[in-house]
Amino acid sequence: MTENPLSSSSRVPVIEKLLTANEEVAADNRAELKIHGVKVINIMASPGAGKTTLLLATIEALGEAGPSIGVIEGDVASQVDADKIATTGVPVVQINTGGGCHLDAPMIRHGLQALPLEELDVIFVENVGNLICPVAFDLGQDFKVGLLSTPEGHDKPYKYPGIFEAVDLVVVTKSDLLPYLDFEVDTFRELVHGLNPDAPVLVVSAKTGEGMDAWVGWLSEQLRK
């Protein structure tokens, strides 16, 4: 019988080589960023979880006296979010994946070339809205942050454990909606810590400012490391 050329045994080496190539570029990104003293925070979440809204509130909260910020925006298409960030005066680069469900290290490599690294302290990467694909691809970041909005429900660690296992911090966004939803914060925190005991869980509303001090405090602590 003729062997199936698409069998799992023939696919795995290809996948491994793809990830290895990505990791090599990620290592190069990390080395270059270290030379410039720039930290990178990879923000991952579902579409509509509030990534851009949190970034806008963060830029405002850090203020002119805070660290110098750059942003890389990842989307399948459009530059709507990059345009919003640009109104703050922060340098921003838009990366469109053309259908891809995640950013990868080579894409970030191109993005870094368009940013004034010598002037920056931190770069926020807003990854493509997705709870699965972005987790597998190292970008050369220093820290990974996972966002989950209250309308998504507190059961998501059951359904998408990978992202909660991988991140350094979990931020529950849109906390101003908690009175109107069945989102159980304590249950969610227990589920996250069952997967990742070391990841703090912050509850934040970029709209009202609730929890923003804790978020900014965490950021400031990481930038000092």
pLDDT in tens, 70-84: 999 999 999 999 999
Domains of the chain are: 8-223 (3.40.50.300)
pLDDT surpasses 50 at 223: yes
How many whole angstroms separate alpha carbon 84 and alpha carbon 92? 10
C-alpha separations of 180 from 62, 157, 171 in Å: 30, 21, 19
Average pLDDT over all residues of the chain: 94
Radius of gyration (C-alpha) of the chain in whole angstroms: 18
CB 46 within 8 A of CB 130: yes
Residue type present at position 111:
G
How many whole angstroms separate alpha carbon 67 and alpha carbon 47? 27
pLDDT in tens, 36-71: 999 999 999 999 999 999 999 999 999 988 999 999
How many whole angstroms separate alpha carbon 118 and alpha carbon 142? 17
pLDDT surpasses 70 at 8: no
Residue type present at position 133:
C
Query: What residues contact 26, with CB distance under 8 A and at least 6 apart?
Result: 105, 108, 137, 138, 139, 140
